[in-house]
Structure 1
Amino acid sequence: MENSPEKLLQIFNILLVVMLFVLFVLIMVLVIIKVKDIKKQQPKKNEKGKKNNKTISVEDYSKESVYDFMEFDAIEDNMIVRKEGKRCVMVIKCNGSNFDLASEDEKLAIESGFLQFLNSLKFPIQIYIQTRKFNIENSIVEYKEKLNKLERENEKARTEYEITRRNPNSTDKQIKAAYIELKKTNNIYEYTKDVIKNTERMSMNKNVLKKEHYIAITYSPLEDLTSEEKYDKEELKDKAFAELYTRAQSLIRVLNACDVNGKILNSTELAELLYVAYNREQYEIYGIDKVLNSKYDQLYVTTPDIMDKKIKRLDKEIEERAGKKANELVDRVKSEKEQKIKDREDNMDDIVKEMTRIILNQNEQIIGKDVLERATELLEEEEGGAKNEKEERTKKKTTRRATSK
């Protein structure tokens, strides 16, 4: 029994050591697990950093990214070159006639020609219709140049007429001839001026549209090559041009039977076609002729962001509605003022008499009481006479209406 406390103390010490050892082991295990987790997270951060760098590089638009968006490499030799010369496209512009205005024989001829056109197709084609706003800016510039020339001629004819008329040696025949020449040049000048004015007014209408029709022919020079044949890029391009030109000419000949005139687009016209396709909203402002004259050697897109367009449209709608509301309020205020003016005009006699009575009462000490009473009596007599006249007029009107009925 004496040794029992010592034994318990020894057992307790042993348990305490064991517990401390187990705790130490657990702490070491947790430290090792933590270190491993940190090592695993470091490569993930590096991968995220690489991904962020990639996204930044994508946002930096390069020449290659623009070409990927455009889906073509270049425009050369009246062809659209795609996929590094492995596929080329040639485009034919078609100008047809009005089928509804043709006679029955002409309609049969056009239909038979179209049937011949379909039967002659031995290769795939694409029909493309492009809607454009009717731009007559170049015509207006030419008209204005002619107008300036006519204005100079008109001033010259006017000067010659004045000189002839003031010259005492001029005969009546010479004066008459100079006057006729002046009238002729003046009429031509005024007519040209009216034409330009009407043309400019028509050009302001943004809803004047026209449709252009095209046939696109695609050819891949690698289709007809065997595995043994090898060509460089220039040879493949020449082969594609020869084949596309032959196909385009055969289509143009067959289209003539349909009363459709065809024409192969050159490189500049192809650039304009693609430029309009990629710039649907702003191609009028930055026309292809302006781009080429400005030495731009690559096409670019100028269409604004869709959200900016919505904000602009909403701002315009808000401005229009605010202006309309302001006009309505102004009209309402004007109508109220006009009603007040009308009421004053209708009751002018009563207002004048009331104002007269007030003035007489205010000046009673100056004019005297007797004069005030007499003036008031005269004023009341005038009011009574005016009432009687009104009643008589109303009676006459009612009697006239009764007799007319």
Structure 2
Amino acid sequence: MESLHSNELSSGNGGLSSQKYVDVEEIRDGVILLKNGSLRAVLLVSSINFDLKATEEQDSIIAQYQNFLNSLDFPIQIMVSSRKLNISPYLDYLKKKETQLTNELLALQLAEYSNFIKNLADVSNIMSKYFYVVVPFYPVENTKTGILDRLFGSTNAQMAVTRRRELFDTYKNQLWQRVDHIIAGLSGTGVKITPLKTEELIELLYNSYNPSTQNNSIVKDIDKVELR
């Protein structure tokens, strides 16, 4: 299955924009459209502490995961992203609470705690991990008309916008059938799953190609998402 970027990205042409080598044509309605006409959905998946589970629970999780894998009739990608933990919002929250305290002793203790957390983050490389499942869908290509032509009308000027939208909706619905299948299958293992929306997909790709800015990430916390 194709990845989301071209192999030419690693060719060493540092003066060229990496966007030239990204195989993404468009992102809309929570779907990534690649230049080859295929579609992708990305699911954010929570983690579980497998080692802390009882033996019976571990066996059940393994069995559920095996059943999930055996039920697949299409490929998927599992991606792990490690990012430096951004504690700035938490420090801002503590600072705000400190200004609201009327007890000087409590305010002093909170200030010392804030400094401890800040110093700990400065000297430690605290990382947070995000887990994703990439779900593909490949439309059947017509021999006379390519997939991208049908979707974007790049070579067929007479194709109506409504027709292109209908095709996209059809492909998206078939992609979402796979998404629902994966959500149902993985939910049995005890993890939480949610599809990324358009803004979050753009941010994920931006952070992937600009790792130095990942500490500014605003990808939603899996514990605060609207679960399906």
Asked if TM exceeds 0.5, the reply is yes
C-alpha distance in 1 between matches for 2:71 and 2:124? 40
1:216-231 correspondence to structure 2 within 5 Å: 216-222=134-140
Residue number in structure 1 paired with 2:97: 146
Cα distance, 1:187 vs structure 2: 4.1
- Stretches of structure 1 lacking an aligned partner (at least 5 in a row): 1-57, 155-184, 290-405
Matched, 1:71 2:23: yes
1:197-232 CA-to-partner distances (Å, cap 9, x unmatched) read 122112213521122111101112335x7979x774
| Aligned 8 A contact 2:45 2:130 in 1 | yes
Equivalence for 1:301? none
CA distance, structure 1, for counterparts of residue 14 and residue 185 of structure 2: 49
The letter of the residue matching 2:174 is E
Residues 127-142 of structure 1 correspond to what in structure 2 (within 5 A)? 127-142=78-93
Alpha carbons 1:95, 1:262 under 8 Å: kept: yes
Match of 1:210 among 104, 120, 128: 128
Residues 249 and 68 (structure 1), Cα distance of their counterparts in 2 relative to 1, 3 Å cut = same
Runs (5+) with no aligned partner, structure 2? 1-12, 152-162, 219-228
Q: Is the 8 A contact 1:67 1:73 kept in 2?
A: no
TM-score by length of 1: 0.43
Name the % identity: 27
Matched AA of 1:68: K
Asked if 2 retains the 8 angstrom alpha-carbon contact of 1:95 and 1:260, the reply is yes
- Supply the AA of the counterpart residue of 2:207: V
Higher relative contact order (CA 8 A, sep 6+): 2
Identify, as 1 or 2, the structure richer in strand.
Answer: 2
1:99-142 CA distances to partner (integer Å, 9 max, x unpaired)? 11100111111011111111111211011111111111111122
Structure 1 residues 66 and 101: CA distance shift in structure 2, 3 A: closer
Residue in structure 2 matching 1:117, options 68, 75, 78: 68
Match for residue 197 of structure 2?
266
User: 1:91: how far off?
Assistant: 0.5
Counterpart in the other structure of 1:83: 35
Contact 1:133 1:206 in 2 (8 A): no
Contact 1:275 1:288 in 2 (8 A): no
* 87 and 206 in structure 1: CA distance in 2 versus 1, 3 angstrom threshold: farther
CA contact (8 A) 1:218 1:244 kept: yes
- Mark the CA change 1:68 to 1:235 in structure 2 (over 3 Å): closer, same or farther: farther
- Are residues 131 and 104 of structure 1, via their aligned partners in 2, closer, same or farther at CA, if it must alter by over 3 Å? same
- Displacement of 1:145 in angstroms is 1.6
> How many aligned residue pairs are there?
191
TM-superposition CA deviations, 1:166-215 (whole Å, max 9, x none): xxxxxxxxxxxxxxxxxxx3343233223211221122135211221111
Q: Which runs of 4+ in 1 moved over 4 A?
A: 58-61, 225-228
Partner residue of 1:247?
A: 178
The two structures, once aligned, show a CA RMSD in angstroms of 2.7
Q: Secondary structure at the match of 2:211?
A: coil
- State the SS of the aligned residue for 1:283: helix
**CA–CA distance in 2 between the matches of 1:59 and 1:133?**
24
What do the CA deviations read for 1:270-316 (whole angstroms, capped 9, x no partner)? Answer: 122112210123433xx356xxxxxxxxxxxxxxxxxxxxxxxxxxx
The answer (yes or no) to whether the contact 1:124–1:217 under 8 Å persists in 2 is: yes
Larger radius of gyration between Structure 1 and Structure 2: 1
Q: Within 2, Cα distance between the matches of 1:117 and 1:143?
A: 43
3-state secondary structure, aligned to 2:52: coil
CA distance in 1: counterparts of 2:95 and 2:118, whole angstroms: 11
User: Is 1:99 aligned to 2:30, yes or no?
Assistant: no
Show the counterpart of 1:38. Answer: none
Alpha-carbon distance between aligned partners in 2 of 1:250 and 1:129, rounded to the nearest angstrom:
21
- Higher-helix-fraction structure: 1
